[in-house]
Structure 1
Amino acid sequence: MIMAISTKDIAKKMFKYNKITKLWVTGLAVATLAGQALAEETLVVTASSSEDPTAPVKGIVATKTLSATKTAAGLVKTPQSVSVITRDQMAALDVTSVSQALRYSAGVFTEYRGSSNRNDEVFVRGFSYVPKYLDGLSYGATASSQTGTMDPWLLERVELVRGPASVLFGQVNPGGLISMTSKRPTSQPVHEIQFRTGNDNLAEGAFDLGGPLSDDGHLLYRLNGIARSQNSQVEIIKRRASPLRRR
């Protein structure tokens, strides 16, 4: 059997195969280039640091609060006005009382008795004697119990919650409340000692020690204290303070 194939048919078949070959080669080249591009891409994963409201914060800007919701909630997501004064900010302001630490907070009136700092009396939003809490426990919740102060040297942070908060704290002032967080044991060693002297015969000594007690880091400790003596504006009055905390 003899088949006759014209030159025109041969040309069509060659053009068809040539076209398929070109398409296949082009697709292979595109796939190869895409594979090289994917291989050259670098995936960068950034781990977000979760701030602990009870742990030390580097700097003066805190991002979380513990008192507004009694959970580690972000300040930007908290539907209440909250100000946080960190340990570094208190050190920068050189405060000696909680009322001094709240000097620059909005809606707050402090130190209205002048140089007398026997009580941390703070006015918030026009309401006097806002209650104070230390580590979630009442530390002078009514006007009749506004006795004594907490030295900022013993605190990790001070939080000011503005507005009613009786749902979380019970009977509190409508103006707000002050929540203080004391220094707690940390896995990082802490060895700090300082001495100061200044005007009005100021003499002060403070220490802050902490870290792990066991090799596995399961047993931690924190010991801090401060002693201060200073004359006041009145010649016969002298201020002394010597608080000590251990955990």
Structure 2
Amino acid sequence: MPLTDLMNKSLPHQDPVFAIPAFKDNYIWAIRTGPDSIAVVDPGDAQPVLAVLAERQWTLSAILITHHHWDHTGGIAELCARYPVPVYGPASEDIDGITQPLSEGDRVQLQTLETLQVLAVPGHTRGHIAYFGQGMLFCGDTLFSGGCGRLFEGDAPTMFESLQKLAALPGETRVYCTHEYTQANLGFAWKVEPTNQALKTYMEDVARWRQAGLATLPSTLAKEKAINPFLRVEQTAVKAAAEAFNEGPCDTAVQVFAALRRFKDMS
């Protein structure tokens, strides 16, 4: 099956975006920037991108990077050897090939698209950024459907603040994270909040999509605020699950989040 035939579940929007699968569970998001061009987000592997470009007889217009991990950056050199395009990425991380270093508040113009706003969302890594615009959020490994990234370089207060920043965006925002972790994440979410009817319904939807070979992404921020325990730390059931794992009280939202993250890491 051609890579670009990976179809998403039906959604009521026409984002100029499609997924290029890579590795075991990565998605390299391809953004249509013209009738025969795409930009790609977090190309950890050049080969799937090159295959799509050859298949469609398209060209590459830009590369957007969210953070320095190899499965998000590994394809930069090979792609740029074929297509000398601008490479956008976090200014505070050491990433070979970045030509356009970015910080909070910067903007990226991708040809025919409206600008994407750069958001600093540290926690998974110290300099992690996200791109937001036209109702789309490319958030790398900060927010997943049903979960969030591990704290490899940041701490719980830092990651909590980043997630709150994303949660404050409009509810209809489509969430394009980089991994197909949804089904596993929802298994943990169900341990935390087994009476959440919205979560139960979403688990059933996701099981059906995965059985059919469909991607579960994008999600929406409204959906995540209804089912994702890391965005629901004020809920009584979520706080209770965190305190049970912690074997003691969690007096603040950050403490609830920290306990949940440790709980997930050990699950």
* TM-score of the superposed pair, with normalisation by structure 1: 0.23
* TM-score of the superposed pair, with normalisation by structure 2: 0.22
The structure in which a higher percent of residues are helix is 2
Question: Rg: which structure is higher?
Answer: 1
The structure in which a higher percent of residues are strand is 1
